[in-house]
Structure 1
């Protein structure tokens, strides 16, 4: 099996990308990452973005694409436009990064959540791409004795929906990341590496409390293809933090 490749979710560098999107992608390559995952394109024409990816040698397997939860009548057409762009730049995976569940979800909320995700999954899959969902902590709330994320993954077939488990949020949801990787082995092509330090503040990979090493021990067997770094809060430069996180993987011989 091929060794997983290390990438970065560009939301991590949003303070940079909003000012110089293409230049930031070049800096990611200079730092030593081999993969990027998008979170918006800042109006960049697909051909221009594809050229930068080709010039830097970066792989771009995936993008986080939000669904229109406020106006369902626009959801399908907006997703169709995103699918077309994804195809132009050569993506393989489209990931929904978030769903607005209430503080205390009911089974009716779960049913609605599953229905929306399944319909999006059908649309993306029909276009020849693969579709996934990225969790936060709230999807681990129990509804009728089962975590919301398990309701979703059990009810939407694996050929329509994969899991992009965010290992940090799995931890914050009260679960062991390795348990969820093992439970859904073969269905997790992408995994988010997010580390947490004090409270709910995240930090560079390896500087917090999340147990990544147990995941690394089973990741190839579980079919993970990409490790995607994500961080939202910084003491200094987001680019410096990205470089620090990359060291975690270098120290373990992954890069």
Structure 2
């Protein structure tokens, strides 16, 4: 995870049919379902559009970002959340050039993870120019004291103000450490309650909340409309709960996504972003395709 410190909206093709046990429904032709959804909005009980955090396919992105993104689009993702892979969030291209490629593929490049402590004014201006909605700080690391988190809350408010001036939103993506008690407090609570909702949003990584021993649903209920983005990442039940390297194919782990994402929709979560960081017996790209299929067939 240390690498991460450096650092769509066509309608998704949704499946229809009778609801089967668990969360799946029998598929129809993609063209039929997507045209219906475009005409009447997301199908009742369906998730709707969903995205991918490109970190999930970071090796392919480093080799050929454009071909990787084209393949991702073919899987059914309609939203893209980027990351800073060393060449900036536009992968060495101008922001307008990268935006044009995304548009041609029918993708909404709505957000990116990036280091918001460096060159934020420039990053926010370029993001705002092409209509991105969020710049997201993905990692600050565990802190030694609550005073450190208090300073971070102040920093986040400042980052939010800079982003707002450029027409984008600032958000912070959690890991497990903000949910671990420190000096009698839960740092995530402090950050939620001491940042300006007009300036600061949060991306709720469901995996990290769970591995820290918390219930994502309770956080969604306690802080409605503060988590407009969710990271949809499953936890392998055969891996120790606190093990940071335990993500797996969606639907094969322990997280109850129909319940969690349904609660998310009820409480202001608008973006559902797939992420996977551990791959057992499959490649990252194969996993991305399987995860897209799960999301397309998810019934809330």
Would the TM-score normalized by the shorter structure come out above 0.5? Answer: yes
Alignment CA distance shift 1:47-1:128 (3 Å):
closer
- The yes-or-no answer on 1:204 pairing with 2:249 is yes
Tell me, yes or no, if the aligned pair for 1:4 and 1:225 is still in contact at 8 Å.
no
In the alignment, is residue 179 of structure 1 matched against residue 218 of structure 2?
Answer: yes
1:56-95 to structure 2, matched below 5 A, reads 56-68=105-117, 75=118, 78-95=119-136
Does the 8 A contact of 1:4 with 1:220 survive in 2? no
Gaps of 5+ in 1: 69-74
Which of the residues 294, 297, 300 maps onto 1:248? 294
Question: CA RMSD, aligned part only?
Answer: 1.8
Take 1:112 and 1:218, find their aligned partners in 2: how far apart are those partners?
A: 31
Instruction: Report how far residue 144 of structure 1 moved.
Output: 3.9
Between 1:3-12 and 1:26-35, the stretch displaced more is 3-12
The residue aligned with 1:32 is 76
* Preserved CA contact (<8 Å) 2:141 2:177: no
Q: How does 1:1-255 map to 2 (within 5 A)?
A: 4-40=48-84, 41-68=90-117, 75=118, 78-102=119-143, 105-197=144-236, 198-199=239-240, 200=243, 201-235=246-280, 236-253=282-299
Distance 2:104 2:290 in 1: 25
Deviation string 1:160-183 (CA, Å, 9 cap, x unpaired) is: 111110000010111011111121
Quote the Cα distance in structure 2 between the aligned partners of 1:48 and 1:253.
36
- In 1, the alpha carbon distance for the partners of 2:200 and 2:48 equals 20
Residue in 2 aligned with 1:71?
Answer: none
Judged with a 3 Å threshold, the aligned counterparts in structure 2 of structure 1 residues 99 and 4 are, in CA distance, closer, same or farther, namely farther
Does the aligned pair in 2 maintain the 1:177–1:211 contact within 8 Å? no
Distance in 2, matches of 1:250 and 1:5, equals: 9
1:4-31 Cα distance to aligned partner (Å, 9 max, x none): 4210000111011111111111111111
Secondary structure of the residue that 2:50 maps to in structure 1? strand
Larger Rg: 2
> Which one has the bigger helix percentage?
1
Which protein is richer in strand relative to its size? 1
In the TM superposition, structure 1's runs of 4+ consecutive aligned residues that sit over 6 Å from their partners are none
CA distance in 1 between counterparts of 2:48 and 2:299 reads 11
Q: CA deviation at 1:247?
A: 2.2
* Cα distance in 2 between the residues matched to 1:117 and 1:225: 21
Of stretches 81-90 and 245-254 in structure 1, the one that deviates more from structure 2 is: 245-254
TM-score by length of structure 2 reads 0.77
